[in-house]
Chain A
Amino acid sequence: MRWTGLALLLLSLLGVLAQSVPEDPRDEAKRQKQLLLQTSGILPSDLIVEQGKDLFYTKRGPRGVSLEGCDFGLGAGVLQGASVQLPRYFADTGKVEDLDSRIRTCMTQLQGFKPEEVKRSEVVPLAFFIAAQSDGLPIQVRIAAPAEREMYELGQKLFYARSGARDMGCATCHVSYVNRRSGVLPFSDVLGKDASMSHWPAYRYSNDQAWTMEDRIRACYGNLGHPQPDFYSPVPIALQLFMAYQANQAKAELPGFLR
C-alpha cells in the first residue's frame, strides 16, 4: 500500500513536472525546493539542521558535555564561518580534518565516545547544523601548513587518478564530460561552474537523503564499482581540500538542496 501511494504521488509529481521541465538540473532543484516550501512550509533539510542543533547542545557521552567546547578552526564554540574554511590543519590532532572528521574528533576527545560509537546518523545532522551557520559566506580554504600542502597534492592526484576495473576517476566525468550525461544523469561541473564544495552537506530530494561530501565521494566510487575509501580517512579529506580550494570565493549554500 505504501508503495502504491508513493507511486501515485510520484506519478502526480511527474504530471506537474511534465508541464514545464527546466533543462538545467540546477533550475530544477530550485523549483523542487520552492515546491516543497510551498506545500509543507519547511524543508526536510531544516529538520535535519534542528536535529543536529539538539545533538550539538545536549550534554552527551561518558563525560556528559555538549559540543560547545569544540574548536572547528575559529576557536571553541565559534560556528559562524567555520565550515567554509574546512578542511584545514588542526594543531591539537596534528591532522588536516574535514567537517565529518572534526565532529568525530570532538565526540571522542571532548565527549569521550569511543571511535566505534560515533554513528553516521549523528555525524550527518551535526554536520548539517554546523554547515548551516556558514550559509551565504564565501568558501575560504587555505593551503598554508605543510600538512595542508601535502593533502592538497594528494587530493589532486586522486581526483585525476584512473583506477579499478572501470579505469575511471573523478575527473573522467566531472571534468572531461561535464556537459554530457551517463544514463539519464547529468554530471556536475565539480571544479568549475558548480563549485560543488559550496553546497555540501546537502539534502538530495530525489531519494530523500542527507549526505555530507564524504558520503557523496564514497557513493561516486561505489557507482564505478570501485572499492570505497573509509570514512574520516585522508582520502575523502584530501579530495575535499582539493575541491574546496578550486571553489574558493564561491558563495556557500548550506545545507545544499540537490537532485
Chain B
Amino acid sequence: MTEVDPTVDAPATRPRMSGIGRVLVAVYAVLALAATGRSFVQIATKFDEAPLAYLLSALAAVVYVLATVALIARGRTWYVVAWATIVFEFTGVLVVGTLSLVDPALFPHDTVWSAFGRGYLFIPLVLPLLGMWWLARHPVRRGEATA
C-alpha cells in the first residue's frame, strides 16, 4: 500500500477509498448488483406472493447501492451515510438471519439476509464488519470538504 497515486498530490485530497479499500468497494458493488437483480426479478414476477419480503429485498438492494456510493464519495456527509447504511445492513442481516432460523414461517421466501446470508456465501454477514473496520480506520479529517 505504499504506491503513490500520481493523480493526487496530498493525502488530504485522497479519496477515502484507495488501496485495499478498492476491493471492499468492488465486493460491495457486486453485492449491490446481486441484491438489485434478485429483487428486480422477485418484484417483476411474483410480487403478490410475499410483498413484504420482496419490499425488504428491494430496500436491502437500495441500501447496498447507497453504501457502495457512500464508500466511494468524499466528505463528511457521505462518511455519515456510509456508517448509517453499513450499520443498517449489519442490523438487517442479524435480525432477519436470526428470525429466519428461529421462525422460518416469517420468511418463507429467501432474501439476501436469510440464514445470515448463506445464499451469498455469508458475504452479507462479513462485509459490514469489514466496512465498519475500514471506516473506523479512515475517519474524515477535520477541515476536509463537506461534500
A and B from one assembly? no
